[in-house]
Structure 1
Amino acid sequence: MSRAVEQSNRRMLRARDAMDRAYAQPLDVAALARIAHVSPAHFTRTFRATFGETPHRYLQRRRVERAMFLLRETGESVTDICFRVGFGSLGTFSRTFRDIVGRSPRDYRRQVTATGVPTCFTKVWTRPSEQFRRSPAPVGPLA
């Protein structure tokens, strides 16, 4: 691996780590591109080439993964979880959750129960499918 590729990968990892830390906050491509020290257009292209999905899709999947955990482990309402993980509307949350998981948040909660299995196994078994990677990257804010 060349030094340039290695540096680019590190910059993308820095931006992805920032997304992981602040997944519930409104994030935009320009702010993430500044973290990676590249232009917004270059950031989107490079992020997709590095991780196999656009920054927007990564952020949505990360939010849904967190929502899945909260649905399994807490008694919070679906609406509260929706806003807690960073979605601005219950409709968008439900549609995105269904696209990624294959069922609604309410159905997911009814069908999945905590069984005392270690969290690492539960995460692997319930990881969202890859079918979600199909739309082009949005322009502007990610949230």
Structure 2
Amino acid sequence: MCRPAWARALTVAHRLSEFARLRRVRDRIDREYAQPLNVEALARGADMSPGHLSRQFRIAYGESPYAYLMTRRIERATVLLCRGDLSVTEVRLAVGCSSPGTFSTRFSELVGMPPSAYRRRVTGAAEGMPPRVAKQATGTVRNEEAPVAEPELA
């Protein structure tokens, strides 16, 4: 029979090993955000089941792997939209989103406005700003922080 201290040491070692695999998954999402990624492929790469990866990733990072991937894509889309040399459709495809509806909905959730409205707002507002300041002023927000759009009065 195992001593209790040994059992705790094995548990800690297992948790550290699992956390290292989760970090590799997160790093892969950060690197390959524009590629077609899904939880099954990420789980295969981490030698985990898709369900286990999703549960553990949410515990470790506070959101599912898919939500984390979409957040990275939308963050990159905001940068590309600020530059103004690509259309919204080209930006959507460049960041790896194939569905216009999903892209627009997730963009609105994270940024607080649709991509086309965001482009109109930042191209005028960020003109003349240093890039670092423009990025801070036009960055993404979490769902609970997004301002509610008020209806315009005609």
> What TM-score, normalized by structure 1, do the two folds share?
0.82
In structure 2, list runs of 5 or more residues that go unmatched: 1-8, 145-154
Residue 78 (structure 1) aligned to one of 64, 67, 88: 88
Q: Is the 8 A contact 1:63 1:86 kept in 2?
A: yes
Q: Is the counterpart of residue 36 in structure 1 residue 46 in structure 2?
A: yes
Once the two structures are overlaid, the 10-residue window that deviates more, 27-36 or 40-49, is 27-36
Aligned to 1:130: 142
- Closer/same/farther in 2, CA of residues 85 and 46 from structure 1, 3 Å limit: same
Write the letter of the residue equivalent to 2:94: R
- Closer/same/farther in 2, CA of residues 95 and 32 from structure 1, 3 Å limit: same
Structure 1: how far apart are the matches of 2:13 and 2:137?
36
TM-superposed deviation, 1:19 = 1.0
Structure 1: how far apart are the matches of 2:66 and 2:80?
21
Aligned to 1:102: 112
Dislocated runs of 4+, deviation >3 Å: 121-127
Write the letter of the residue equivalent to 1:130: R
| RMSD across aligned positions (CA) | 1.9
Deviation per residue, 1:22-51 (Å, 9 max, x gap): 111111111111222211110000000011
Q: Is the 8 A contact 1:25 1:86 kept in 2?
A: yes
> What TM-score, normalized by structure 2, do the two folds share?
0.76
TM-superposed deviation, 1:122 = 4.6
- Closer/same/farther in 2, CA of residues 36 and 97 from structure 1, 3 Å limit: same
Give the aligned length.
130
Structure 2: how far apart are the matches of 1:125 and 1:48?
28
Deviation per residue, 1:95-127 (Å, 9 max, x gap): 111111100111111222251142xx5545444
Structure 1: how far apart are the matches of 2:27 and 2:78?
20
Q: Is the counterpart of residue 52 in structure 1 residue 66 in structure 2?
A: no
| Relative contact order higher in (CA < 8 Å, ≥ 6 apart) | 1
Same amino acid, percent of matched pairs: 42
Aligned to 2:76: 66
Once the two structures are overlaid, the 10-residue window that deviates more, 16-25 or 105-114, is 105-114
Structure 2: how far apart are the matches of 1:21 and 1:10?
16
